[in-house]
Copies of this chain bind each other. A is one copy, B any other.
Amino acid sequence: MADSKPPAYDEDSLVVSDDPHHPANHICTLCRNFYNFGWVTGTGGGVSIKHGDHVYIAPSGVQKELMKPTDMFVMDYKSGEYLRRPEAHKPSACTPLFMAAFTKRGAGCCIHTHSQWAVLVTLICESGMQYHGNTKVFAIKEIEQIKGISRGGYGNTNPKDEILEGGRKAGNLGYFDTLRIPIIENTAHEEDLRESLEKAIEEWPETTAVLVRRHGLYVWGKDVAQAKTQCESLDYLFQLAVEMHKMGLSWLN
Residues of A near any B CB (own CB < 8 A)? 38, 41-44, 63, 114, 116, 119-120, 123-124, 126, 142-145, 148, 174-176, 186-188, 212, 214-216, 225, 228-230, 232-233, 235-236, 239-240, 242-247, 249
Contacts and interface: CB of A to CB of B under 8 A. Distances in A.
Contact of A228 (B63, B119, B246, B247): B63
A187 B142 CA distance: 10
B114 A145 contact: yes
Contacts of A245: 247
A148 B236 contact: no
21 contacts: A41-B145, A41-B148, A42-B148, A42-B230, A44-B144, A44-B233, A63-B225, A116-B240, A116-B243, A119-B144, A119-B145, A120-B244, A123-B249, A124-B249, A126-B249, A143-B215, A144-B216, A174-B188, A175-B187, A176-B188, A245-B247
